[in-house]
Amino acid sequence: MADRLAIKSILVIQTKFIGDVILTSALVRNLRLAYPNAAIAMLCASGLRDFVVSQNIADVAIGFDRRGAGRSLSQRVKEYSGLVADLRRRKFDLTIDVTDSKTSRILHRSIGAPLRVGYNPPEKPMKFWEVQPANIFAETFGHGGAHYLYRYLSPLEALGIELREVTPRLEPTPVGRSASTQILAQSNLAVKAFVAVHAGARFEGRCWQPERFAAVIDEVYATKGLRSLLIGGPDESATAQAILNAAASPLVSVVGKASLETLTALLSDAFIFLGNESGPMHLAASVGTPVVGLYGLTPPDIWGPFGVLHRTVEPPLPCQCVAPGLCKPDNPGGVYCVHRLPVAKVAQATRDLIDAARQLANKTAN
C-alpha cells in the first residue's frame, strides 16, 4: 500500500441522500486520521455541497446530480464530460466509490486515480458488460456489522486502516447555533425542552399519517409537558399543515424555512427526535439527540439511528397489506407498511424514550 504521508488528495464518491452522506462522514473522519497530509473532497448531490463543507464532512464538495430531470441528453452529456474533466484536473491520489452504482463506477474509471477503492462484490450484481474499475477491493459489509454504516466504513479495511472512530458525529456551526437560538426565542421554546418532529420522507411509503403524528404530539404535551417543533423541507409543507390543523396542543413549524445548517443546530437543541426513517433521523442521531424512528419494511438493524439512545417502532410482519395495488413487494421505498403503526405504540415508545433521556440527564448532572 502507498505511503500514507504521500497521499495528498482523496475523493470520496457519495452521490446518494443526506442520510448516506452523514453515515459516510464516519469514513472521512477515519481517513483524516490515517492520511494527515491529504485534502479530502466529496462528490455529492449538488444540494448538499454547502452542508458537506459547513459541517466539515469534507474539505471540498463537488456537486453532481445523478438524475437528469428537466435536462436533455445533450445537456447531460456536456455536464458529465465537464465533470470528468474537472475531476481529472484535480489529480486525486486516491478515490473511494461508496455510491456503488453503474454511473459512479463509470466516473470512477474516468477519473483515473492511481488508487481506486470499490466494492467486491458490489451490492447489486453487475451486468456482464460492466467492469469494476477499482484496484483495491472492499467487502460489501466490513467490520462484521449489519448496519449500513459498516458498508461505508468497509474501505478502511481494504486500505489497511485501523477503525478508530465508528459513530458519525456532527457539530452545529456558529451560524447554525445563532439561527437556532433565534428560532427558539421567537417560538418560546427552551433548549432541550422540545420534541423535533419530522413527518416527511423521500418516499411516500415511509411517511406515517399526519393525523397520527398530531395525536402523539398532543399526548406527549399532555403527559410529559413537551411542546413539538415540526421540521422538514419545502416539499413537506402540506404534511406539516395537516398536522397543524389536527393538533390541539401548541405547535411550531419551521418546515421549509430552515437550512440544513440551521436544522443541524435545531436537532442538537431538541430533547428528542420523533420521525420517519429518513435523513433528518440520521442527522438527529449524529448530533447526539435521542431518536424515536418509525419503520415499515426497512429493517431498523440496518438503517436504525446509530450511537444514541433510541426506540424504533415497526409493524408486525408478514404484513397484512394496507395498500394493495400500490405496494411494491421487496422494495422498502415502495410499500406503505408504516401506515400500520398504531398511535398507542408510537406514543408509548416516545414516552419511554423521554423518561429514559431524563434519567440519563439526571445521572449526568449528578
Element (H, E) at 85: helix 73-89
Q: Is 2's pLDDT higher than 60?
A: no
Measured CA to CA, the distance from residue 11 to residue 60 in angstroms comes to 9
- At residue 67, the pLDDT reads 67
Concatenated DSSP letters for 14-56? --S-HHHHHHHHHHHHHHHHH-TT-EEEEEE-GGGHHHHHHTT
- At residue 124, the pLDDT reads 79
Asked whether 231 and 190 are in contact (CB, 8 A), the reply is no
- At residue 25, the pLDDT reads 98
Dihedral pair phi/psi, residue 311, rounded to 5°: -135, 135
Q: Is 333's pLDDT higher than 80?
A: no
- At residue 173, the pLDDT reads 97
Measured CA to CA, the distance from residue 27 to residue 31 in angstroms comes to 6
- At residue 123, the pLDDT reads 80
User: In 102-236, where does DSSP find H-type helix?
Assistant: 102-111, 149-158, 174-187, 210-224
pLDDT digits (tens, 9 = 90+) for 187-196: 999 999 999 9
Asked whether 38 and 31 are in contact (CB, 8 A), the reply is yes
Percentage of the chain exceeding pLDDT 70: 97
Measured CA to CA, the distance from residue 178 to residue 262 in angstroms comes to 8
Nearest CA to 293 out of 250, 355, 231, 341 is that of 341
Q: Output the pTM of the full model.
A: 0.94
Measured CA to CA, the distance from residue 277 to residue 271 in angstroms comes to 18
CB half-sphere exposure, 19, CA atoms < 13 A: 18
Query: Could you tell me which residues come within 8 angstroms of residue 168 by beta carbon, excluding any fewer than 6 positions away?
Result: 22, 23, 25, 26, 149, 282, 285, 286, 306, 307
- At residue 3, the pLDDT reads 74
Measured CA to CA, the distance from residue 327 to residue 321 in angstroms comes to 8
Q: Is 150's pLDDT higher than 80?
A: yes
Query: Could you tell me which residues come within 8 angstroms of residue 190 by beta carbon, excluding any fewer than 6 positions away?
Result: 184
pLDDT digits (tens, 9 = 90+) for 223-241: 999 999 999 999 999 999 9
Q: Which residues pair with 273 in a beta bridge?
A: 196, 291
Task: State the pLDDT confidence band at 70, using cuts at 50, 70 and 90.
Answer: low
Measured CA to CA, the distance from residue 346 to residue 293 in angstroms comes to 9
Q: Give 59 or 328, the one with higher predicted confidence.
A: 59
Rg (CA), the chain: 21
Concatenated DSSP letters for 87-121? HHHT--SEEEE-S-SHHHHHHHHHH--SEEEEESS
Residue with cell 431524563: 358
Asked whether 153 and 135 are in contact (CB, 8 A), the reply is no
Q: Is 202's pLDDT higher than 90?
A: no
For the chain, the average pLDDT equals: 92
List the 251-253 sheet strands across, edge first.
251-253, 227-231, 194-198, 272-276, 291-294, 310-313
- At residue 344, the pLDDT reads 98
Q: Is 353's pLDDT higher than 60?
A: yes
Measured CA to CA, the distance from residue 179 to residue 182 in angstroms comes to 5
Q: Is 13's pLDDT higher than 90?
A: yes
Task: State the pLDDT confidence band at 111, using cuts at 50, 70 and 90.
Answer: very high
Q: Is 220's pLDDT higher than 70?
A: yes
Measured CA to CA, the distance from residue 51 to residue 259 in angstroms comes to 9
Measured CA to CA, the distance from residue 140 to residue 117 in angstroms comes to 12
Q: Give 6 or 310, the one with higher predicted confidence.
A: 310
Q: Is 152's pLDDT higher than 80?
A: yes
Q: Is 206's pLDDT higher than 90?
A: no
Q: Are strands 115-119 and 310-313 parallel, antiparallel or unpaired?
A: unpaired
pLDDT digits (tens, 9 = 90+) for 271-314: 999 999 999 999 999 999 999 999 988 889 999 999 999 999 99
Q: Can you count the helices (H) and strands (E) in the chain?
A: 12, 12
Q: By CB neighbour count within 10 A (0-12 exposed, 13-18 middle, 19+ buried), where does 90 fall?
A: middle
pLDDT digits (tens, 9 = 90+) for 130-139: 788 999 999 9
**What nine digits make up the cell of 249?**
396542543
